[in-house]
Amino acid sequence: MIYLDNAATTVKKPPAVIESVTAALTCMGSANRAAHDISLSASRIVYEARGKLAAMFSCDAERVVFTANATEALNIAVHGVLKPGDHALTTDWEHNSVLRPLYRLERDSQVGLSFAPADSAGSIDYADFERFLQPDTRAIICTHASNLTGDMFDLGRIGELAKTRDILFIVDASQTAGIFPLDMKRFGIDILCFTGHKSLLGPQGVGGLAIGSGVDIAPWKVGGTGMDTFNHDQPQAYPERLEAGTLNAHGIAGLSAALDFIHDTGMQAIRMKEQALADRFYQGIKDLPQVTCYGDFSRERAPIVSLNIGTTDSGTISAELADAFGIATRPGGHCAPRLHEALGTKQQGAVRFSFSWFNTADETDAAIEAIRYLATE
């Protein structure tokens, strides 16, 4: 099967990732819990991975917190900084991993919520970020790239606005960590949430937050930390403050190997290949009859192309691509309800093609031919 659902998860991983997870499963103990070699081997791998992520995001290693995924990281960030009476500004591009925690806080905790709106082309006016700020705005929370269209925000521009207003800037980098530079200091990011299994090429079950210096997050979960046993309260020092419970050290070992692969291969080389494949696909299908693509293709973007063919249900197209052509895509709503409403695709959904380092030009051409066939049959 030709796998073009990499925005959901990258299936093909660098061989070193698989080897690293396998090795970890055979000999690794619980990280940060004991001083015997089996535990320390896990602690060392976790510490190394923190350091690699800290270098990637320009933050301190002890402020890299591991979670199960980006959703957990976003929940920790949002619930840990917003208090009753606060206002938060987010956007119509967001995934439910951002929207649902915010909706819950709005409903249950008197947190005010505003959205920078997307127009019918999916575009968001940067002026709206400033327009919707309020005196009590505590945080701007936004994605780096839409998981539906691949359109990207200029993080530096939003980060600068947040800094001038003394507002926290929380970024969901689920679609971009590993392929785009994410310098927290340069972009003014206070909290960066990431997942390990998409463009970072690691295993599922590992994600995290990178937290800027001086930013405090109240613990969302509390429990064992391997330290300060008789304290009734969660220790305050990072990263353990936000890491109650046994870490997924097996997964972190795989992520660490994936970070080495990205470093050795070159983030820019990976990004350019993925973008070239996405652009090749877009150029091949954009002028086909009945084909509608979503997003702004005139700017730098994540390697995602979403489309519809006429008024045919996106699930029908995706199923036909899988059954008749052996091509894996994602149809439906993509957990991005507000952007679908803006694009007018709430009922139809959209068929998303998303590319990774391991895809090829031949696979891309096969996808073009499949869409050509379906659009003209």
**116, 140 in Cβ contact below 8 A?**
no
If binding is defined by CB under 8 A, does position 61 make contact with another protein?
A: yes
Closest CA to 292 of 371, 206, 203: 371
Q: Return the number of the residue (110 or 236) whose C-beta is nearest another protein.
A: 236
If binding is defined by CB under 8 A, does position 272 make contact with another protein?
A: no
- How far CA 25 is from CA of 33, 121, 142, 254, in Å, comes to 17, 47, 36, 10
Q: What is the DSSP letter of 311?
A: T
Our separate counts of H helices and E strands in the chain read: 12, 12
Q: Return the number of the residue (41 or 174) whose C-beta is nearest another protein.
A: 41
Ranges within 233-262 binding another protein (CB under 8 A): 235, 237-240
In the list 8, 23, 29, 62, the residue contacting another protein (rule: CB under 8 A) is 62
Smallest distance from another protein to CB 61, Å: 7
Ranges within 7-46 binding another protein (CB under 8 A): 31-35, 40, 43-44, 46
Q: Which residues contact 304 (CB under 8 A, 6 or more apart)?
A: 7, 145, 146, 147, 148, 149, 150, 175, 278, 295, 352, 353, 354, 355
Q: Return the number of the residue (33 or 100) whose C-beta is nearest another protein.
A: 33
Smallest distance from another protein to CB 245, Å: 14
Q: Which two tokens stand for residue 355?
A: 């590319």
Neighbours of 244 (CB within 10 A): 15
Smallest distance from another protein to CB 244, Å: 13
What is the Cα–Cα distance from 228 to 244, expressed in whole angstroms? Answer: 12
Element of type H or E holding 359: none
In the list 26, 120, 229, 298, the residue contacting another protein (rule: CB under 8 A) is 229
What is the Cα–Cα distance from 205 to 207, expressed in whole angstroms? Answer: 7
Q: Coil, strand, or helix at residue 191?
A: strand
Q: Return the number of the residue (43 or 146) whose C-beta is nearest another protein.
A: 43
Smallest distance from another protein to CB 120, Å: 48
What is the Cα–Cα distance from 211 to 213, expressed in whole angstroms? Answer: 7
Q: Return the number of the residue (26 or 229) whose C-beta is nearest another protein.
A: 229
If binding is defined by CB under 8 A, does position 50 make contact with another protein?
A: yes
Q: Return the number of the residue (33 or 372) whose C-beta is nearest another protein.
A: 33
In the list 47, 220, 297, 358, the residue contacting another protein (rule: CB under 8 A) is 47
**353, 4 in Cβ contact below 8 A?**
yes
Smallest distance from another protein to CB 194, Å: 18
Q: Site residues (CB under 8 A) for another protein?
A: 31-35, 40, 43-44, 46-47, 50, 61-62, 225-230, 235, 237-240
